Amino acid sequence: MEKKLSVDHLLGIKYLTKGDIELILSTADYFKKVLQQPIRKVPSLQDTTIANVFFENSTRTRLSFELAEKRLSADVVNFSASSSSVSKGETLIDTVNNILAMKVDMVVMRHPNPGASMFLAKHVKSKIINAGDGAHEHPTQALLDAYSITRKFDVPHLKGKKVVIVGDILHSRVAISNIYCLHRLGAEVMVCGPTTLIPKHISALNVKVEHNLRKALEWCDVANMLRIQLERQDIKYFPSLREYTMMYGVNKQLLDSLGKEITIMHPGPINRGVEITSDVADSGQSIILQQVENGVAIRMAVLYLLSGKSTIGG
């Protein structure tokens, strides 16, 4: 059987169809099996070279992409902005074209500016995978979140499932991508957080807005807890971390008082004791480590489906 994604690049969930998302999730199932084999490697991309170009710090996304690439037998080159000519004033297009001149087939890029990967896809001849662009999109995270939910409930789509995204929605690319992805798969989505951290027009994306955490948790089947991104906050959005935790932190006591078992997710890195307490993060209700495990399979599926004979330039 042969199937193809409707896109040449993975720039955001916004540009994917429901069929694309389902194809990626079902392909990830096969790669998850590969990861459980005694030899966790397949030769599918053995003549492909992939550059991981990270203009922003990342630990797990970069590691997850690198592992996915290596499990597919691709050749991998890593590039980080801090040790590059970017600090000498080189432009994004020049930097990437220089990398491509060394015969690289695909570029996985994280960049602090929203739209950077779209810009690159228009100007360079290579397949681009967005690994996070500013506060815009983080498509592979949304795909692995959706995958983790469908596999947790053992369902093919998310029709009727209620997901709440809690925390710093304003600075979060994970939230935006998750909203698009969950909607495509039929889930209902709510965002919850202090007024200052919820974008003004978020309801235009057809999401419910709730400022009371207890009400939000009572409504949902799954709660995706986002990290408070202190590094992105140039002004104070709430009086203190302690107050944020009191209002929007999830602890065991709160979860137990809900009268139903909800699933807890977190894209990481966790600020233990801020958005969730340790006993919640390590409890049976949390699928945080499954998310990390699924991340490699999802990224293998994305790389596999986007490779193949190139339709772009050389």
Partner 1 sequence: MPDKPRVILDSKQLELTINRLCYQLIENHDDFANSAIVGLQPRGVYVSKRIHEELAKMTGNKNIRHGALDATFFRDDFRTRETPRIPDVTELNFNVENLKVILVDDVLFTGRSVRASMDALLAFGRPQLVELLVLIDRRYTRHLPIMPNYTGKMVNTSLSERVSVEWKETEGKDCVKLHTVKK
Residue number, 118 or 143, with CB nearest to partner 1: 143
CB of 21 to partner 1, least distance (A): 15
Q: Which residues of 265-293 are buried (b: 16+ CB within 10 A; e: fewer)?
A: bbbbebbeebbbbeebbeeebbbbebbbe
| Residue with Cβ nearer partner 1 (42 or 63) | 42
Two tokens, residue 10: 């993975």
- CB nearer to partner 1: pick between 121 and 301: 301
264 backbone dihedrals φ, ψ, rounded to 5°: -105, 130
* R_g of the chain, CA atoms, integer Å: 19
What gap in Å lies between CA 131 and CA 128, rounded to an integer?
Answer: 9
What distance in Å separates the CA atoms of residue 276 and residue 266, rounded to the nearest whole number?
9
Q: Contact positions toward partner 1, by CB under 8 A?
A: 1-4, 23, 26-27, 30, 33-34, 37-39, 41-45, 47-48, 72, 304-305, 307-309, 311
Q: Toward partner 1, which CB reaches closer, 28 or 225?
A: 28
Distance set, CA 74 to CA 65, 126, 170, 248, 274 (Å)? 11, 15, 36, 42, 39
Cα–Cα–Cα angle for 170, 275, 291, nearest 5°? Answer: 85
**For residues 22 and 188, which CB has a smaller minimum distance to partner 1 in the complex?**
22
Q: How far is CA 242 from the centre of its chain?
A: 27
* CB 17, min distance to partner 1, A: 16
Question: Residue 39 CB, nearest distance to partner 1 (Å)?
Answer: 4
Cβ 107 to partner 1 shortest distance, Å: 18
- 37 versus 59: smaller Cβ distance to partner 1: 37
Least CB distance to partner 1 at residue 273 (A): 42
CB of 37 to partner 1, least distance (A): 5
- Of 89, 155, 101, 95, the C-alpha closest to 125 is 101
